[in-house]
Structure 1
């Protein structure tokens, strides 16, 4: 009788479920062994990124550790477990090209969390899945056309002059040297740029050293808050956990801010019928032409998703690139002098103006372009590019078939620091991107930081333009010098998903005006 009671008890059912779960996990763990594919052994539940999820290791260093693991030195790809799910860590450039470019239709989704229960985050362009991704991308692309970028440029250049002014007023007649926190300074500038060209708003972040737009942007990646750091790590590295707990791409503060602000901005723009050729105009067109079956609330979620990702990606990536560039130039004054001479010559040629042509191509200011490319190589904004296989496909001359649903990791950060592709990779050397040297770099890695293939960064040109404007507006009037508080080397913030220094990048600005 007692046995019969036990068989019908919750404990028995739980025990059976646990046994089945363990058997299923063990079967999963044998996946690559059965396929005769070398694989990384890792904790059963959390997988390869266990240390990152638990805050013991940063994602950049973890990706680099896996890539450089001596056991897999000559392997083209490695099996790994993302949470409990078998995934593929790809090292070979030909296979990477196949996944990201040649066979894009079989890898057109990202694997990182795009939880349908997380509006508006799940609708933003970076994460949204096909075919909705294709619809949104096609409607957003015109905003980044040459015509639109030229139309927006005067706003960027004006804010660049504001940046220069607010640095200048920190100096007095007796003080020729002032210390700045590079990341704070560049954060403020790029939040102002995005607020202006995207939303038609004067955020005055530089003037006020912060503000609501800055708080909305900063709170997205504020990993100093322990829970937010775990939330972001889970979304990018262990999406199964993120979906279970209902984690959000945008912070609660950011989400509330945009739901409070954007409906009124959109309504006023519709009512006034004034066109600013900004992101709001593009989103109104997107709303009008979006798939009819979406209700008005879902359309608003989609619009705010694009507003949020534009702010997140537009400010944080350019700010990191600019601050790391200035940091490296403070350590290498010879490079800084060469760049400042190029800036001086370009300004003289253009009557002291920072023109669109100076920053929109690589020929007007080639050394500046090389400098930015080298920063993007050495400090890749993202540690990896991810994809999800949407149609089973064979790689490596038939050796392995990637099944539908398998997550793919392309170790961007590690590839860009591999001595096989970059001589002395830990040295900051912009000359590697000079016309006479660039042929030494595999074509796939010559400009990989914005991604590859059809899901590359839609805002690449805008990012380069605004970064170059910031650098010119600073370096034309100021030398950057390291001081006793400048980090000797960069230690990455462990909890950061987008590259971030764990220590403040403090340097001295020395007034040294050209004109």
Structure 2
């Protein structure tokens, strides 16, 4: 073949490839489904990869796109794959709650073999394994269990207060010192999770670079590589095993597996009980061991052993310290910027402490109604995960009537833009304004259901929601009882999110100033 013929062949191949791509990306147009027009190869995720804005803000851009306005849903392409972006609260209710059985799996996933601790926990597990593990973990989060945990959480809270009172003042006249709030709160939540779940003293205040804090930090430090890993986990999970990407990196995997297995072995050897997560996992393990292989096969039950057990403990650690520490840090940021709100919540704390003779009790925490409103509003402005994802699991597909005649096919991903709904002025007027009173009992009837989902919604909602609130409240009380929080020269006037972090994080940290100002109780 001469050069002319070779050039012609190459041109035909290019044109054929272009035609096939155009046809592939014309999926929604052929079906008459409203869509956001994709780009070849990138689909609708080009803005996510450019990192000009954070993933949360990128999802808002999709939600507010001119072609999506007044649509209950729109078709998008996550790179090459057609997907749905939901906008209508009633449709969101159907997918997350009413018809959950047809969307019972997350689309996101990690490598089951290469990333066992990242993939085998209840966040990523698929049905029926997810259902069984969730059912067995639920007793750990009952009201009675939380009451049993409270003394341990309160002790770590007291350590936080002591740690802050021991800090040298940067300005003796103003009696103040500066902090990075996210790291401070992560030291606290790391110690809480270590003692409540594992019965281990992490001592993060005296050892801020100790193993628990160092390895926990590594999971959520978003370098470009980590950003790529999490992007593929949520949007192209089928590629994750081939690229060797992990939710829990190799070193944290090694440390956490070794630590948890050691604690479990010691607990079994000593036969001591603490009513913590380790005891619960040991019970799962014993129940599995008591079944013969034939019984397990006949019952088709999930086998609780090895990394399956460790993975649940790892999720509780990573999710537990990260989400609560972020919520606490964002709350301190908003309190620093709104002194009137801070004055009111400190007055509430002081009144409660006087009534309890200075003791932080479960009843005191439960009665902090204004602090609860603050946390609700903080989680509206800063939900830990800015979107939810589901996958259609129904073999016959899913009918979107009366919104459209389109049938969602099995395996299609569906995305719910949580942060975008939280920031929609139709549902939350002046959405960027910090207003805890939005969640006052008198205002709750004004809220459109299924537009607020910081912990997810439906059966896949966060199992540790009540624990997260409890942990955050105890921590905030111990910060505010002896300190007033204010802005410093380094405090962002307007919050900027890290463009690399798929989990909502402040870009550059949250720098604040604490003023020693005891409530006198």
Scaled by the length of structure 1, the TM-score of the pair is 0.92
The match for 2:46 among 24, 46, 50 is 50
Task: Tell me by how many angstroms 1:56 deviates.
Answer: 4.1
The match for 1:307 among 306, 313, 321 is 313
Q: Does 1:150 align with 2:153?
A: no
The corresponding residue for 2:101 is: 105
Quick one: distance in 2 between partners of 1:477 and 1:247?
A: 44
The corresponding residue for 1:495 is: 500
Quick one: distance in 2 between partners of 1:204 and 1:263?
A: 20
Distance 1:157-1:17 versus aligned 2 partners, 3 A rule: farther
Greater shift after overlay, 281-290 or 144-153?
Answer: 281-290
Q: Does 1:139 align with 2:136?
A: yes
Q: Does 1:322 align with 2:332?
A: no
The corresponding residue for 2:379 is: 376
Task: Tell me by how many angstroms 1:296 deviates.
Answer: 12
Q: Secondary structure of 1:270's partner?
A: helix
Instruction: Please say if residues 487 and 503 of structure 1, whose CA atoms lie closer than 8 Å, have aligned partners that are also in contact.
Output: no
The corresponding residue for 1:192 is: 191
Kindly report which structure 2 residues correspond to 1:26-175, keeping only aligned pairs within 5 A, or say none: 26-117=22-113, 118-171=115-168, 174=172
Greater shift after overlay, 25-34 or 470-479?
Answer: 25-34
Quick one: distance in 2 between partners of 1:396 and 1:191?
A: 46
Quick one: distance in 2 between partners of 1:21 and 1:250?
A: 38
Gaps in structure 2 of 5+ consecutive residues: none
Instruction: Please say if residues 114 and 128 of structure 1, whose CA atoms lie closer than 8 Å, have aligned partners that are also in contact.
Output: no
Task: Tell me by how many angstroms 1:103 deviates.
Answer: 0.1
Q: Secondary structure of 1:70's partner?
A: coil
Q: Secondary structure of 1:510's partner?
A: strand
Task: Tell me by how many angstroms 1:54 deviates.
Answer: 4.9
Distance 1:425-1:55 versus aligned 2 partners, 3 A rule: closer
The match for 2:229 among 204, 211, 231 is 231
Quick one: distance in 1 between partners of 2:258 and 2:13?
A: 45
Quick one: distance in 2 between partners of 1:20 and 1:113?
A: 33
Q: Secondary structure of 1:480's partner?
A: strand
Task: Tell me by how many angstroms 1:259 deviates.
Answer: 2.3
Quick one: distance in 1 between partners of 2:482 and 2:401?
A: 53
The match for 1:454 among 451, 456, 459 is 459
Kindly report which structure 2 residues correspond to 1:397-408, keeping only aligned pairs within 5 A, or say none: 397=402, 398-408=404-414
The corresponding residue for 1:182 is: 181
Q: Secondary structure of 1:479's partner?
A: strand
Task: Tell me by how many angstroms 1:140 deviates.
Answer: 0.6
Distance 1:187-1:220 versus aligned 2 partners, 3 A rule: same
The corresponding residue for 2:259 is: 261
Instruction: Please say if residues 77 and 88 of structure 1, whose CA atoms lie closer than 8 Å, have aligned partners that are also in contact.
Output: yes
Quick one: distance in 1 between partners of 2:344 and 2:261?
A: 48
Distance 1:296-1:402 versus aligned 2 partners, 3 A rule: closer
Greater shift after overlay, 423-432 or 349-358?
Answer: 349-358
Q: Secondary structure of 1:409's partner?
A: strand
The corresponding residue for 1:283 is: 281
Task: Tell me by how many angstroms 1:25 deviates.
Answer: 4.1
What are the superposed Cα offsets for residues 193-219 of structure 1, whole Å, 9 maximum, x if unpaired? 011101110000012223100111111
Task: Tell me by how many angstroms 1:419 deviates.
Answer: 0.3
Q: Does 1:414 align with 2:427?
A: no
The corresponding residue for 2:207 is: 208
The corresponding residue for 1:246 is: 244
Distance 1:416-1:487 versus aligned 2 partners, 3 A rule: same
Quick one: distance in 1 between partners of 2:200 and 2:11?
A: 59
Quick one: distance in 2 between partners of 1:203 and 1:343?
A: 28
Quick one: distance in 2 between partners of 1:258 and 1:233?
A: 24
Task: Tell me by how many angstroms 1:299 deviates.
Answer: 2.3
Instruction: Please say if residues 187 and 315 of structure 1, whose CA atoms lie closer than 8 Å, have aligned partners that are also in contact.
Output: yes
What are the superposed Cα offsets for residues 281-329 of structure 1, whole Å, 9 maximum, x if unpaired? 1111222335946999982111121122111110110011100000011
What are the superposed Cα offsets for residues 458-478 of structure 1, whole Å, 9 maximum, x if unpaired? 000000000001111111111
What are the superposed Cα offsets for residues 13-44 of structure 1, whole Å, 9 maximum, x if unpaired? x9999998766544431211111111122232
Quick one: distance in 2 between partners of 1:298 and 1:18?
A: 52
CA RMSD of aligned residues (A): 2.5
Gaps in structure 1 of 5+ consecutive residues: none
Distance 1:21-1:386 versus aligned 2 partners, 3 A rule: farther
What are the superposed Cα offsets for residues 224-256 of structure 1, whole Å, 9 maximum, x if unpaired? x32122112221233233233131111112111
Q: Secondary structure of 2:75's partner?
A: strand
Instruction: Please say if residues 480 and 508 of structure 1, whose CA atoms lie closer than 8 Å, have aligned partners that are also in contact.
Output: yes
Task: Tell me by how many angstroms 1:269 deviates.
Answer: 1.0
Quick one: distance in 2 between partners of 1:347 and 1:168?
A: 18
Task: Name the count of aligned residue pairs.
Answer: 502
